[in-house]
């Protein structure tokens, strides 16, 4: 697997290329885009004109869309089995030869539209190769990206979401360390301001993205550590001593009589359930090797469940399994949720699960 980082992407992409892609793919928006980008913008600094002639403008609501249109053809050219693009972040994975062939096309194609890869921030990850083959792959990859970094699979993240049990543990451990440091720093400022910052910025809001992207509920021990640090830190900042019932009430939303300091353990499961994921975590490994020994396959080994009162309705699970080829066979299943947790094991189903809360 290779993760690519594009240098200064939004400021570097050629505007004539953006206009051409916009006219071809979304012609109804072309007049507005042409009005905004057909001519260079001029910024005056001490009577000196500074011309803005490349990239999308800062703050333009259409900026991300235009950038996506600009790299659309390059992203669709990739032939590797795993091809994930989000604006200027790209992840491709598959047999080494396929990945390197794609890299040999991606790099000059990006250069043609004004973009370049930051090799220092790009990464190569061994998913399923044996050590000797991976060593050879590193040498080939560095012939294309000279300064590419090697990242262990246990620390793999895609778009900031931890992939695999080890990466999840590392991510949550980092959240624990960050929360402890921030609470120590908040102790030196006025208590009311410190409490406001803790509740609205440095506690649960800092971890919501991870809760939504990964099954954090599987690591209840680390979530309990976060809850304990938050409880002790709040007690120190507010000069209050919370007993168990008091902290239970304090961790409720304000509209329910609490302080709004939400419990990590309570939020993990309902945030994980609506997760739409194509890279489903296994109990033992993130990716296993397919029968041909090269292309990775995805195996579904998690436990899906919910908690009464946190999940209001019974969701429908749309399960997708592979029948030995790349064609998908759609199945359906119902999962009812009872207190405290009722689980549905889906270990026999392969590839992906799309969970959508009904009603």
Two tokens at 68? 């996506």
Task: Please give the order of strands across the beta sheet that includes 2-5.
Answer: 82-86, 89-93, 2-5, 123-125, 149-151
Q: Does domain 2-151 have CATH number 1.10.287?
A: no
State the chain's mean pLDDT as an integer. 72
Half-sphere exposure of 318 (CA within 13 A, CB side): 13
Contact 268/211 with Cβ under 8 angstroms? Answer: yes
The answer to whether residues 307 and 269 touch, using CB atoms and an 8 Å cutoff, is yes
For residue 86, name the pLDDT band (cuts at 50, 70, 90). confident
Enter the tokens of residue 295: 């292309």
Contact between 281 and 313 under an 8 Å Cβ cutoff? The reply is: no
Between the alpha carbon of residue 101 and those of residues 52, 59, 81, 147, the distances in Å are 35, 36, 13, 18
Q: pLDDT exceeding 90 applies to what percent of the chain? A: 0
End-to-end CA distance of the chain: 38
Supply the pLDDT for residue 272: 62
In whole angstroms, give the CA distance from residue 214 to residue 157. 10
Query: Using CB atoms within 10 A of its CB, is residue 210 exposed (0-12), middle (13-18) or buried (19+)?
Result: buried
How confident is the model over 30-45, as a mean pLDDT?
85
Whose tokens are 């600094």? That residue is 45
Q: What's the pLDDT at 278?
A: 37
Centroid of chain to Cα 80: 20
Model confidence band, residue 319 (pLDDT cutoffs 50, 70, 90):
very low
- Residue ranges per structural domain of the chain: 2-151, 161-271, 276-356
* Nearest one of 59, 79, 81, 74 to 10, comparing CA atoms: 59
140 has pLDDT over 80: yes
Q: What mean pLDDT is predicted for residues 134-154?
A: 82
**Binning pLDDT at 50, 70 and 90, where does residue 93 land?**
confident
* Residue 271 confidence class, pLDDT cut points 50, 70, 90: low
Q: State mean pLDDT over 42-60.
A: 83
**Rounded mean pLDDT, 328-354:** 30
Rg (CA), the chain: 24
83 exposure class (CB count in 10 Å sphere: 0-12, 13-18, 19+): middle
Please indicate whether residue 244 or residue 180 has the higher confidence score (pLDDT). 180
Three-state secondary structure call for residue 220: helix
Question: Please, what's the b/e burial string for 147-172 (b: 16 or more CB within 10 A of its CB; e: otherwise)?
Answer: ebeebebbebbbeebbbbbbbbbbbb
- pLDDT bin (cut points 50, 70, 90) of residue 347 is very low
At 150 the pLDDT is: 83
The larger pLDDT score, comparing residue 359 to residue 59, is at 59
Q: Which two tokens stand for residue 221?
A: 């021990």
- Across the range 67-84, mean pLDDT stands at 87
**How many Å apart are CA 198 and CA 192, to the nearest integer?**
10
Residue 345 above 80 pLDDT?
A: no
Provide DSSP, 266-310: HHHHHHHTT-EESSPPPSS-S-EE-TTSSSEE-B---EEEE-BTT
**Quick check: 67 pLDDT over 50?**
yes
d(CA 274, CA 287): 22
Q: How far is 114 from 89, CA to CA, in rounded Å? A: 16
List helix spans (H) across the chain. 9-12, 15-25, 30-37, 63-77, 96-112, 131-144, 165-186, 191-197, 208-213, 220-238, 244-250, 264-272
Inform me whether the pLDDT recorded for 337 exceeds 70: no
Q: Give the pLDDT of residue 273.
A: 55
- What is the Cα–Cα distance from 220 to 3, expressed in whole angstroms? 30
Answer yes or no: is pLDDT of 296 > 60: no
């Amino acid at each position: 697997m290779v993760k690519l980082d594009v240098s200064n992407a939004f400021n570097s992409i050629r505007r004539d290329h953006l206009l051409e892609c916009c006219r071809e793919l979304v012609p109804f928006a072309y007049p507005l885009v042409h009005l905004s980008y057909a001519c260079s913008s001029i910024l005056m600094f001490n009577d000196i004109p500074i011309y803005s002639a490349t990239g999308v403008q800062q703050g333009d609501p259409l900026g991300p869309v235009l950038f996506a249109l600009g790299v659309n053809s390059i992203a669709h050219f990739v032939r590797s089995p795993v091809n994930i693009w989000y604006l200027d972040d790209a992840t491709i994975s598959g047999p080494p030869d396929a990945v390197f062939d794609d890299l040999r096309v991606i790099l000059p194609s990006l250069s043609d539209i004004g973009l370049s890869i930051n090799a220092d921030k790009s990464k190569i990850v061994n998913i399923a190769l044996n050590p000797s083959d991976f060593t050879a792959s590193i040498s080939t990859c560095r012939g294309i990206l000279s300064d590419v970094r090697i990242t262990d699979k246990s620390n793999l993240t895609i778009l900031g979401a931890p992939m695999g049990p080890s990466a999840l543990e590392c991510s949550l451990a980092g959240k624990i360390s960050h929360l402890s440091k921030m609470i120590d720093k908040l102790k030196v400022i006025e208590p009311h301001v410190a409490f406001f910052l803790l509740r609205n910025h440095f506690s649960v809001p800092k971890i919501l993205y991870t809760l939504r992207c990964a099954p954090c509920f599987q690591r209840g021990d680390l979530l309990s550590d976060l809850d304990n640090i938050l409880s002790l830190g709040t007690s120190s900042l507010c000069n209050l001593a919370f007993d168990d019932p008091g902290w239970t009430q304090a961790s409720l939303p304000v509209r329910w009589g609490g302080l709004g300091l939400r419990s990590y353990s309570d939020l993990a499961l309902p945030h994980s359930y609506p997760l739409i994921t194509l890279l489903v975590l296994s109990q033992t490994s993130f990716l296993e090797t397919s029968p041909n020994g090269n292309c990775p396959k995805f195996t579904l080994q998690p436990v899906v469940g919910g908690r009464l009162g946190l999940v209001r309705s019974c969701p429908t699970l749309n399960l997708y399994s592979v029948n030995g080829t790349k064609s998908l066979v759609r199945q359906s299943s119902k999962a009812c949720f009872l207190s405290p947790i009722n689980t549905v094991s889906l270990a026999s189903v392969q590839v992906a699960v799309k969970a959508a809360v009904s009603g």
